[in-house]
Amino acid sequence: MVLCPVIGKLQHKHVVLASASPRRQEILSNAGLRFEVVPSRFKEKLRKASFATPYAYAMETAKQKALEKDLRAPDVVIGADTIVVVGAVILEKPVDKQDAYRMLSRLNGKEHSVFTGVAIVHCCSKDGRLDTEVSEFYEETTVKFSELSEELLWEYINSGEPMDKAGGYGIQAQGGMLVEYVHGDFLNVVGFPLNHFCKELARLYYPPRPEDLHRVRHASIPAVDTFENLSDMEAGGSDPGQSAEGGRGGQQADGDRSQAPGAPDAALNGADGRPPLPAGLLELMDGFKASKVLFTACKLKLFDMLKDQGPLKAVDIARKLNACAGGTEWLLDVCVALGLLEKTHRGYSNTEVATLHLASDGEHSLQGLAEYNDAHVWGVFTRLGPAVQEGADQTRGALGVMEEEGHLSQSREMTLQFMRAMHSLSKLTAHHVATAFDLSRFTSACDLGGCTGILARELAQEYPRLQVTVFDLPEVTELSGGFQRGGRQTERIRFVPGDFFKDNLPEADLYVLSRILQDWPDDKLHKLLSRISSSCKPGGGLLVAEAAAEEKERASRRPRLRALSAGQPRSPDEHRWLLQRHGFQDVRVARAGDLLHVVLGTRAVP
């Protein structure tokens, strides 16, 4: 049987399925997999808002479930998490009948996506230590519900079926009657994407042979992607633990698919030999349009209006914006398609993600970042062609943000826009940075380039003894007042204007550099670190926070794109080496949430 080799690779391993779902168990045992069921105790309580995409949330939950096991060292643990996403809202299992009703009403008559995140954890014991390697992926299926009456919805809810199912329905049972069509893997909606799982096993256990590698280079399609064609003999199968390349980790940490857009489809050519629609590629070509729609809606303060006054009809929105009714409706409908707005018979309203992140006054608002991307980063990227040809430094060349040391060659309005963008980003990361290490031994800290003081605030809140100085260029500290919210810890925060390349640094026993080093070339970076090292007393500390840039992340989509305008990120090891070179010892590295890594060193006696 041609399908056997992939599943057969797990035949002699102790496999644990970290899931109580009878549907997942049935799918896997029907496929011939032998496994032990050890349901995970991991509570599904990750903060959804902290994930850039719903599938990133599902993959992280799957991973946490698989890693949570009290590992009496099985060889492999499989974790999975299925979520239903409508608009930008994630639906999990309903807690009661009313909740089930809310979910099913949201799905009624509409298309939604079902995502399953899957984590395959390989475990091995070395010197009494348990090492784990995680491979993760997700699958998306589109499902459309028919228009259903209230009566039918309640009849279904009263059947009891919705209660333990993501989105409040089970497609394999009575819930199947609600569904008009399904695009994609049906089993994914049931709870486990078996086809993708087998492909992942094939990728893990059958790394490409050297003679196949030219195919990888030319077509960006892994040589072994159609697991159906495998046999142990011809594929020269190996254990993923033994493969140097092509083994685990092809799925990148932030959920980017490892193949080129359209590649998985291209591998599954139609019977007539013509390539299928390269949907991923077309989406990529349209990516800039989607960004511009988002930026335009933010600029028009659409999300603010709908947060306060929604739902509103298109004509009323157009009137309030003093804009053309037809053009406004066009923009609104695109926002609905992008999951930023919802449309009902009462009009348009924000989705949860829009209210949380795109209205300007929210604690978690990213409006400043959208505004900055629109006003500046967009322009940088329109000059990408010449920059590639001439090797120009994108940010400096195109924007002239920092012409000389310590001078922002930009208008007050541009400085404010830049500060709003930093403020938005910092709100996402400051808590993770402040708590990545225990900093309670320090009584004074100086945040160099601390901008609007978000990190200073978080540090003061977390460590009640700490006095914090925010040190930044005069044109920045002058405007920082507009970003302060008040509160008791602000008494322990002060803003000092200055240039960290020229002026004396304020005294402190902890110096902080958050997202500073990546902006500077090596000569400037050494100058700054050497100045900090001279100011820091023995026993004092230096905390550096920078964009997460472990090797596999450096190759993934988001950091790669960012590097085009913000410079190549340095890895944790490079930062460790830099601190050691400048007289800091006991250098430790930690992860600070999804976006940053943090490095802490202690000033040695010179």
Q: Which residues bind ligand SAM (CB under 6 A)?
A: 405-406, 422, 425-426, 449-451, 455, 472-473, 476, 499-501, 514-516, 519
Token representation of residue 219 = 């077509």
Return the residue nearest ligand SAM (CB atom).
449
SS3 sequence of 437-482 = CCCCCCCEEEEECCCCCHHHHHHHHHCCCCEEEEEECHHHHCCHHH
- Beta-carbon contacts of residue 163 (< 8 Å; ≥ 6 apart): 93, 94, 100
Q: How far apart are CA 188 and CA 194, in angstroms?
A: 7
Q: How far apart are CA 164 and CA 95, in angstroms?
A: 9
SS3 113: strand
Residue with Cβ nearer ligand SAM (230 or 476): 476
Residue with Cβ nearer ligand SAM (61 or 395): 395
Strands 341-344 vs 347-350: parallel, antiparallel or unpaired: antiparallel
Give one DSSP letter per residue of 359-377, joined into a string. STTSTT--HHHHHHIIIII
Residue with Cβ nearer ligand SAM (167 or 449): 449
Amino acid at 453: G
| Least distance CB 453 / ligand SAM (angstroms) | 9
Buried b (16+ CB within 10 A) or exposed e, 225-249: bebeebeeeebebeebeeeeebbbb
Residue with Cβ nearer ligand SAM (155 or 503): 503
For 45-102, list the strands marked E by DSSP. 76-86, 89-91
Instruction: Look at the block and give the residue holding tokens 């497609």.
Output: 171
| Least distance CB 585 / ligand SAM (angstroms) | 24
SS3 sequence of 507-523 = CCCEEEEECCHHHCCHH
| Least distance CB 140 / ligand SAM (angstroms) | 33
Question: How many Å separate Cα 69 from the centre of its chain?
Answer: 24
| Least distance CB 424 / ligand SAM (angstroms) | 9
Instruction: Look at the block and give the residue holding tokens 């797990």.
Output: 10
In the annotation, is 212 catalytic?
A: no
| Least distance CB 516 / ligand SAM (angstroms) | 5
Beta carbons within 10 angstroms of residue 105's beta carbon: 13
| Least distance CB 430 / ligand SAM (angstroms) | 8
Token representation of residue 349 = 């309203």
Residue with Cβ nearer ligand SAM (219 or 375): 375
Residue with Cβ nearer ligand SAM (425 or 587): 425
Residue with Cβ nearer ligand SAM (116 or 469): 469
| Least distance CB 419 / ligand SAM (angstroms) | 7
Four-residue CA torsion sign, 535, 540, 545, 549? positive
Q: How far apart are CA 276 and CA 157, in angstroms?
A: 40
Choose, from 81, 304, 447, 472, the residue flagged as catalytic: 81
Q: Which sequence positions are flagged as catalytic?
A: 81
